[in-house]
Amino acid sequence: MTQLTDDALNVLFREARTHNGWQNKPVAEEMLVALWDLVKMAPTSANCLPARIVFVTSDEGRERLKPHLMEGNVAKTMAAPVTAIIGFDMEFYNHLPDLFPHADAKSWFVGNDQLIYDTAFRNSTLQGGYLIMAARALGLNCGPMSGFNPEGVTKEFFPGTSVKVNFLCNIGYGNDENLFPRSPRPDFEKFCSIV
Amino acid sequence: MTQLTDDALNVLFREARTHNGWQNKPVAEEMLVALWDLVKMAPTSANCLPARIVFVTSDEGRERLKPHLMEGNVAKTMAAPVTAIIGFDMEFYNHLPDLFPHADAKSWFVGNDQLIYDTAFRNSTLQGGYLIMAARALGLNCGPMSGFNPEGVTKEFFPGTSVKVNFLCNIGYGNDENLFPRSPRPDFEKFCSIV
């Protein structure tokens, strides 16, 4: 097999929706491990893997998250079986001697704060995108969000570390409750060109 | 169908590699349109779709890109059938009245430069991640890169606009030439936790 079926493309892209309502059906811890085992395989720059992910699955965890959410994101997040807090480690380069043994990649970053930030933010976001795709591939649904107080979430979930939050993603088995009408998607010519 | 087969997971994640060598086989324009038609369906914040993509497919285009590439990225990029230049539009919010008709989302951004930048960078990167997954899903291979001069590429390919380059991605039918040995991928516990 070298390319996916139409059914698979529908699951990943065409028919998948951002979910706001959730079936009362838990997501097993084994599923979260399976999710990571897919996400970790997808490419990051020099295999830097800067994402640090906290999966909130308990009521205690949700209560810690709640005060930092924008009003419109509270109810759906409290009802979601899992909320992934996707962070990025500003000291990711300390792992490069293990993660990228081909070269002295750590030396590319030490002392270059702008490059560290750009690399951590860009590559943790890529990993967040892979997480959405991997979750859908495993039969789960997602509800990604950037409407929250980042300082508050960082302080609550990554205290005393070099990790900062990037974005959140509710995960579970979705239902059609509060599903938005599908927003417009423009044709190729609108935002793409060929030279 | 609600979840993907093991074969499909292998194509997307487990067996896919970052390619540095390319078969002498072109990628049809119809394929690039098919690629966008998948990428555009995946979620961005308020459907903001800030990515602007230039697909370099001509020798003329490659010559314009060449002087801005890091030495190690020149040969493989000159040999790739396609290089996607993934940019982000710092004025993406002007399209929100069309793209997100549910709310006055434009007003959330106007005058808030940090939010504009964070949203444009984060969401165009997500779209870049979706592009990698969509290309693999269509039977193509990818070679994403951040080793280039961003000011130079922005000036050459997005002159006089509000678009800045994010990262590049070679696309084509890969071969095993110069394939890196697979770098280590850590277990769940290393970078993830459950609360």
ipTM of predicted assembly, 2 dp: 0.98
CA nearest to B168, candidates B68, B48, B93, B33: B68
Which of chain A's residues have a Cβ under 8 Å away from the Cβ of B53? Answer: 191-193
pTM of the model: 0.98
Domain total of chain A: 1
Confidence of residue B175 (pLDDT cuts 50, 70, 90): very high
Whether residue A60 is predicted with pLDDT greater than 80 in this model: the reply is yes
Q: What is the pLDDT of residue B102?
A: 87
**Is B41's CB within 8 Å of A157's CB?**
no
**Is B55's CB within 8 Å of A13's CB?**
no
Which of chain B's residues have a Cβ under 8 Å away from the Cβ of A37? Answer: 188
Mutate to test the interface with A, among B5, B7, B12, B109 (most CBs of A within 10 A): B12
| A195 assigned to some structural domain | no
CA nearest to A110, candidates A119, A102, A101: A119
**Is B1's CB within 8 Å of A8's CB?**
yes
The 10s digit of each residue's pLDDT in B43-71 is: 999 999 999 999 999 999 999 999 999 99
Whether residue A193 is predicted with pLDDT greater than 90 in this model: the reply is yes
Which of B2, B47, B193 minimises the CB distance to A183? B47
Which of chain B's residues have a Cβ under 8 Å away from the Cβ of A90? Answer: none
Confidence of residue B9 (pLDDT cuts 50, 70, 90): very high
| B119 assigned to some structural domain | yes
Q: What is the pLDDT of residue B160?
A: 98
| A189 assigned to some structural domain | no
Query: Across residues B78-98, what is the average pLDDT?
Result: 98
Mutate to test the interface with A, among B4, B31, B145, B167 (most CBs of A within 10 A): B4
Closest chain B CA to residue A143: B43
Q: What is the pLDDT of residue A89?
A: 98
Alpha carbons A175 and A65: distance in angstroms, whole number: 23
Confidence of residue A2 (pLDDT cuts 50, 70, 90): confident
Alpha carbons B70 and B149: distance in angstroms, whole number: 8
Give B43's Cβ-side CA count (13 Å radius): 27
| A160 assigned to some structural domain | yes
B19 to chain A nearest CA, in Å? 11
Which of A9, A41, A121 minimises the CB distance to B14? A41
Query: Across residues A81-95, what is the average pLDDT?
Result: 98
| A181 assigned to some structural domain | no
Whether residue A153 is predicted with pLDDT greater than 70 in this model: the reply is yes
The 10s digit of each residue's pLDDT in A3-57 is: 999 999 999 999 999 999 999 999 999 999 999 999 999 999 999 999 999 999 9
Query: Across residues A159-183, what is the average pLDDT?
Result: 96
Q: What is the pLDDT of residue A86?
A: 98
Which of chain B's residues have a Cβ under 8 Å away from the Cβ of A120? Answer: none
Q: What is the pLDDT of residue A157?
A: 98
Which of chain B's residues have a Cβ under 8 Å away from the Cβ of A126? Answer: 125-126, 128-129, 132
Whether the CB-CB separation of A140 and A60 falls below 8 Å is answered with: no
**Is B192's CB within 8 Å of A36's CB?**
yes
Q: What is the pLDDT of residue A25?
A: 96
Whether residue B28 is predicted with pLDDT greater than 80 in this model: the reply is yes
The 10s digit of each residue's pLDDT in B109-162 is: 999 999 999 999 999 999 999 999 999 999 999 999 999 999 999 999 999 999
Confidence of residue A149 (pLDDT cuts 50, 70, 90): very high
| B77 assigned to some structural domain | yes
CATH of the domain at A105: 3.40.109.10
**Is B36's CB within 8 Å of A157's CB?**
no
Confidence of residue B186 (pLDDT cuts 50, 70, 90): very high
The pLDDT > 90 percentage for chain A reads: 97
Please provide the average confidence, as pLDDT, over all residues in chain A: 97
Please provide the average confidence, as pLDDT, over all residues in chain B: 97
Query: Across residues B157-175, what is the average pLDDT?
Result: 98
| A191 assigned to some structural domain | no
Q: What is the pLDDT of residue A1?
A: 59
Q: What is the pLDDT of residue A183?
A: 96
Whether the CB-CB separation of B50 and B88 falls below 8 Å is answered with: yes
| B190 assigned to some structural domain | no
How is residue A3 annotated by DSSP?
A: S
Segment holding A189, helix H or strand E: helix A188-191
Which of chain B's residues have a Cβ under 8 Å away from the Cβ of A47? Answer: 183-184
**Is B29's CB within 8 Å of A181's CB?**
no
Mutate to test the interface with B, among A1, A3, A4, A148 (most CBs of B within 10 A): A4
Alpha carbons A150 and A132: distance in angstroms, whole number: 20
**Domain range for residue B137?**
6-175
Q: What is the pLDDT of residue B1?
A: 59
Alpha carbons A148 and A163: distance in angstroms, whole number: 17
Which of A43, A146, A192 minimises the CB distance to B45? A146
